[in-house]
Amino acid sequence: MSIKHKTGSIKLIAFDVDGVLTDGGIIYDNSGMEIKRFNVKDGQIIAHLKKSGFIVGAITGRDSQVVKNRCEELKLDFHYHGSSDKLVQYEKIKADYALDDEHIAYMGDDIIDLPILTRCGLSATPQDARTYIKEHVDYVSPSLGGHGALRDFADLILKEQNLLDTIIKQYTKGEM
């Protein structure tokens, strides 16, 4: 089935955080405080996905206050942290929103994401994911994790659902 066909039924977009919204690095300062770098382009498109009617959220394996803060700032519809078995949260999300696999797009970058990547309707990974992850997804972003990979994936979905041009026109006509 083509990506164009798969994107047409997407209603919910979920993603991992470390390695997707970030470059996967973790920095600790001398006092043990965690520091992460997020790409504002990913955050910008999340706002447009939500305005366009998509359900948007994160499922992350780490339990990090920094990530929780970012998820709250982005006003995600859901975010699960410390998930060693992400498929449990995926199934809960499907039930909570009464969706089937084909309605869900997911971007992940590592082994822990494979159970979702191989079940969801549209799967993606950043350019710097391992080859064995890339072999199991529908779309490989041209961008690295933490450098706009989610933005690429979201733009693809918005474009294929004929929503991206509307967003662009709102900006070019000063309607935002």
> What is the per-residue pLDDT across 63-86, written as a single tens digit (0 to 9) for each?
999 999 999 999 999 999 999 999
> Stretch 136-146: mean pLDDT, rounded?
97
Under the banding of pLDDT at 50, 70 and 90, the label for residue 41 is: very high
pLDDT class of 51 with cuts at 50, 70, 90: very high
Distance set, CA 45 to CA 12, 100, 148 (Å) = 14, 24, 10
Confidence (pLDDT) at 33: 86
Q: What is residue 176's predicted lDDT score, i.e. its pLDDT? A: 62
- In angstroms, the CA 134 to CA 50 distance is 27
Phi, psi of 169 (to 5 degrees): -65, -35
Give the span between the Cα atoms of 17 and 23, in whole angstroms.
9
Q: pTM of whole model > 0.85?
A: yes
- Bridge partners of 27, per DSSP, are 35
Distances (CA, A) of 13 to 66, 70, 95: 21, 17, 15
Mean pLDDT, to the nearest integer, of 116-127? 98
In the three-class reduction of DSSP (H, G, I as helix; E, B as strand; rest coil), residue 174 is classed as coil
